Amino acid sequence: GFQQIDMQPWLDSLPREFGTPIHWTKQDQIDLLQYPHMVESVERQEKQWDAMYKTLLSSGSSALKGMTWKDFVWGCECARSRAFSGGYTGAPFNPIIYVFTLLLVTVYVGLNLGTLEQAANGAGLVFCASVLRDFVVPKFF
């Protein structure tokens, strides 16, 4: 059956507040970040979080009625600092492409169409394309 887990010790271990740029004044952001793109990123994040906060409050859930903006931001910061740096939009792992690549390498080398090094270069290209598609490109789009 379902077993209750006491989450309180873990919750007590979380920071009570964060000194992230979203809490800074606009002038502090400009002075301390020293990079206009970062200041814009902070503004964009605050707008996204504000939209999420308003959506949650408008959902009508009684569990969320007492949640303040400060509570919401704290929760977002806890999640982002402990879980990941951003939204992961990569595709789920699909072993078929790697099995197919292995099959092509085997056929390529087995039929003496080229060297093992050439086949390894092709397999490496497949791997690099997968990393590029799942981790690099989503950071820009």
Per-residue pLDDT of the chain (141 residues; tens, 9 = 90+): 457 888 888 888 888 889 999 999 999 999 999 999 999 999 999 999 999 999 998 888 887 888 899 999 999 998 888 765 555 555 677 889 899 999 999 999 999 999 999 999 999 999 999 888 877 777 776
Tally of CB atoms within 10 A around 65: 8
Percent of the chain with pLDDT strictly greater than 70: 91
pLDDT at 72: 92
Cα–Cα distances in angstroms (integers) from residue 105 to residues 81, 95, 96, 114, 128, in the given order = 41, 15, 14, 10, 16
Those residues with Cβ within 8 angstroms of residue 78's Cβ, 6 or more apart along the chain or in another chain: 14, 15
Integer Cα distance of 87 and 139 in angstroms: 9
Q: What are the structural domain ranges in the chain? A: 8-82, 96-140
